[in-house]
Structure 1
Amino acid sequence: MDAEALITYCATEQNRERIPTTDLLRMLQNEAVSQSELANRFGSSRKAINGQINELIEKGLVRQTSNGYHLNGAGAIALRQYTETTEAIGVDTLHFLATSSNRLAILRALRQHPARKAELASQENLPSRSTIRRTIDTAEELELIYRDTDGDYKLTDRGNTVLQAYNTLVRAFEQVIEKKPCLRNLDVECAGLPVRALEGEQMVVGTPAKPLSQVTELIEFVESLDETEVDHIRTFSSYFDLRISKAFDPLMKADTRIDTISPADALSEIPTVSEGAEHVRQGFDAENVHWKLYPGELPLGLLIVDEKWVVAGPKLVSGATEVSGTVYCSDPRVVDWAIDLHKTYARSSHDPLEYLIHEFKSLGNNLLNKMVPTQSD
């Protein structure tokens, strides 16, 4: 499926047995929902729900979890891009464009050269005279075109804006499709990723047959960095890999500031013996290394090098059981987005000791509440 076909899929009105695609995506954006619960909420059959969900999974927009179905990063990004376009040009206008390639062809032809209906009908790549007439009539109602004093049809300023917005959406969906191995493994918190900026950027893909290709490429990338020129490293790290960690040694020893955020449960994965434990100890002792714990899951794996590079991929890449991808990007829009995301999670994260004290106090309070009966009035 190409980008315009995906837009059409999202825009097409469904029959009674099918939920509008964007309504279904919005329902799955905030929580995981089971198949039966979806059927109850939308008044649809489980068979119809199952068919739509399978389509969305195949398109890489939805994932199945232990709690039901949930939007993934690709779905969240696509939904945001689609929603922003409808807000800018209107639902009816986007539906008009997306549900017929003939309409787009006519408007694009008029943008290139104003023409009359008969002249349009004479062009080989355009549809019949009756189709052109219906398209022209509706486009006039939507204020996309007008007829000048010479009798030629031209795009209005709004028509040019609408066509540009549609083309922008196409480019965004092209990247959603092309970078699907990466984006479908991100979480919905990555909906704001400026996906069009990923065009032309490198993606390293890992497969079950080559599960370590992403790790190997990441290590090589980190080792290629000149520690004398790098001032600041920011990361999201949801697991410990000694090979990756050791690749940062030259940066750590060069006093490069390293800000790492890990989920709180990463404490249980810290090696306590052998080479891994010694490497962790060195990191704790280094004044330029700042490690914080986030009380929840992180939305992706992330590496930011100064304000120059972003490496974005799945939270876990070693031992991959499905196709996944890691994107390497130097576009400033993506870099700014990644830095803002890192800062957002940093504000809700804590130093390990501070986190443990907080958890200990919470545990003590819970035990106290259980031991001391609540006095009734």
Structure 2
Amino acid sequence: MNARELIEHISRSDQRLAILRALRERSAKPGELAERAGVDRTPVYTALEDLEESGAVAAIEGRRKMTAAGDVAVRETATACEAVGREAISHLASSTDNNRFRVLSGIDDGLSRGEMVHDDAYPSRSTINRAMEDFEASEWITPRPESMVTKEGKEILDAYEELHRVVGIVVEKIAYLRLVDPKKIEFPIELIADAEVVESRPNRPQRADEHLRQRMLEGFDHARMFSRYYSEAGVETMLRALDEGSTWESVSPLPSHNPLPDSRTEIRHFRECIAADGADWRVYPDDLPIDLIIFDDDRVLFGSDEALETTRRDAMLDSTNPALIAWATELFEDYHQQASTPLDYLLDPVRENGLYKALRLDWARDRFS
């Protein structure tokens, strides 16, 4: 779907808008969603099918869930519909190639019907005539031949233009936003407009990870990161960076360390990250909203949500936008301040079970005691 098609789909009827707004509130099975929206199941499936295919909705174990892409598109469309009327937004969006929007914009720019007819940027003469007849009947423009956009028409035009712009960003970044849970994090859509989306594909399932490793190998002085899961290769890379004089701060969620490390490599990494000079590793008591890494205050990479990924599809967002980096830094600092050192996290298990049992180090006790 392009931006116009997505807006058209969402705004097609009051019933559909109600269904999608209900799904935006919380995930549900189609039957549950139909009950919540007060409709039959058929319009629910009709509303969701195309959105699932486009990435605005995800299906997880029978339930349907809005992705960040769908969440923003539905929110912005609903807001525009409340401002100027759903019928007006739907009427503009239902015109192929945005023809009605283009004609109304042309009139707002002071162009006459004749000038638009002879300009290749506008649709055919018959399409322009039909659009202007509709606009006159709706009182969006004054009567011809001296047509001008009325106050009502201008409000509708501005609302649709802004909606189309924002949803356009969503569509451009949908390969990434389809893998982000809006209940965990609300991305500032305006700030990701110029970001690069790096998407893994079936023929290159490791493309996003390769991109991250490449950015790491380019070198950095200081990095701040969320690491939602343990990666042997990732930790080795960051330890090598320390050896080369870099410093880093890392926050990982408690669930990723539960159970505690039980392999020799992970235990070694655990110990080295705690003791390393230049490394500040903290453990957050709950899940983190997303993976991210900020390099030297001049680049940020965002990872996707494991729950919405498949083994062959993940994606990453790469940006040098200072405003987005500042937003990511504030997000990092927020969680960093609430996190504790790994030693603090270890105290209770050690007190309760003893060091060897807490760390699952029976093999070490037998060997070294």
TM-score by length of 2: 0.78
Q: Kindly indicate whether the alpha-carbon contact (under 8 Å) linking 1:206 and 1:320 is maintained by their aligned counterparts in 2.
A: no
Q: Secondary structure at the match of 1:188?
A: coil
| Structure 1 pair 95–49 and aligned structure 2 pair: CA distance change class (3 A) | closer
Match of residue 73 from structure 2: 78
Structure 1 residue 171 and structure 2 residue 165: aligned? Answer: yes
- Alignment of structure 1 residues 85-96 onto 2, 5 Å: 85-86=80-81, 91=86, 93-96=88-91
Per-residue deviation, 1:60: 0.5
2:211 is equivalent to residue 214 of structure 1 = no
Aligned pair partner of 1:249 in 221, 239, 253: 239
Report the CA distance between 1:122 and its aligned residue: 8.2
Aligned residue among 166, 171, 176 for 1:182: 176
Q: CA deviation at 1:12?
A: 1.4
Q: Which position in structure 2 is the counterpart of 1:302?
A: 292
Number of equivalenced pairs: 344
Structure 1 residues 285 and 67: alpha-carbon distance in aligned structure 2, compared to 1, 3 A threshold: farther
Counterpart among 196, 199, 221 of residue 202 in structure 1: 196
Following the alignment from structure 1 to structure 2, what is the Cα–Cα distance between the partners of residues 67 and 354? 40
Conserved in 1, the CA contact under 8 Å of 2:175 and 2:199? Answer: yes
Question: Paired residue for 2:3?
Answer: 3
For residues 153 and 331 of structure 2, the distance between their equivalents in structure 1, rounded to whole angstroms, comes to 35
Gaps of 5+ in 2: 352-369
Residue 23 of structure 2 corresponds to residue 33 of structure 1: no
Task: Write out aligned runs for 1:26-175 (5 A).
Answer: 26-66=21-61, 68-83=63-78, 85-86=80-81, 91=86, 93-100=88-95, 101-115=98-112, 125-126=124-125, 127=127, 129=129, 131-140=131-140, 145=141, 152-155=146-149, 163-175=157-169
Q: Percent identity?
A: 23
| Conserved 8 A contact 1:181-1:325 | yes
AA aligned opposite 1:215: D
In structure 1, runs of 5+ residues without a counterpart are: 362-377
Deviation string 1:263-301 (CA, Å, 9 cap, x unpaired) is 221113664443443233211113543333334433322
Contact 1:186 1:299 in 2 (8 A): no
Give distance in 2, aligned partners of 1:146 and 1:347: 59
Deviation at 1:214, TM superposition (A): 1.6
Q: 2:7 matched to 1:13?
A: no
Instruction: State the Cα deviation string for residues 217-254 of structure 1 (Å, max 9, x = none).
Output: 2111111023xxx33x2222111112122222344346
Query: Matched residues in 2 for 1:125 and 1:333: separation?
Result: 42
Deviation per CA, 1:54-113, whole angstroms, max 9, x where unpaired?
322112111122472221222223234434545666655534432334431221211333
25-34 or 277-286: bigger deviation: 25-34
Residue pair 1:302, 1:312 contacting (<8 A) in 2 also: yes
Preserved contact between residue 239 and residue 316 of structure 1 (Cα < 8 Å):
no
- Aligned positions of 1:281-292 closer than 5 A: 281-292=271-282
Structure 2 partner of 1:369:
none
1:156-187 C-alpha deviation (Å, 9 max, x unpaired) = 68866754553343333233223222211111
Q: Distance in 1 between matches of 2:350 and 2:87?
A: 55
Alpha-carbon distance, 1:199 to partner: 3.9
In 1, Cα distance between equivalents of 2:38 and 2:3? 30
Q: Secondary structure at the match of 2:302?
A: strand
Contact 2:254 2:285 in 1 (8 A): yes
C-alpha separation between the residues in 2 aligned to 1:290 and 1:69? 39
Single out whichever of 193-202 and 33-42 deviates more from structure 2: 193-202
> 1:146, 1:76 → 2: CA distance?
37
Cα separation, 1, equivalents of 2:118 and 2:136: 15
* Deviations, residues 118-150 of structure 1 (Å, cap 9, x unaligned): 77678763526454122134253xxxx557xx9
Q: When the two structures are superposed, what TM-score results if normalisation uses the length of structure 1?
A: 0.76
On the 8 A contact 2:199/2:315 being kept in 1, the answer is yes
The whole-number CA distance in structure 2 between the counterparts of 1:55 and 1:214 is 26
Q: Which amino acid aligns with 1:125?
A: S
Q: CA offsets per residue over residues 171-220 of structure 1, 9 Å max, x none?
A: 33233223222211111146632334434532222134432222122111
Q: How does 1:262-281 map to 2 (within 5 A)?
A: 262-268=252-258, 271-281=261-271
8 Å Cα contact 2:34/2:44 also seen in 1: yes
Q: Compute the RMSD of aligned alpha carbons.
A: 3.6
Shift of the alpha carbon at 1:321?
Answer: 2.0
Q: Where in structure 2 are the equivalents of 1:321-332 lying within 5 Å?
A: 321-332=311-322
Q: Is the 8 A contact 1:77 1:191 kept in 2?
A: no
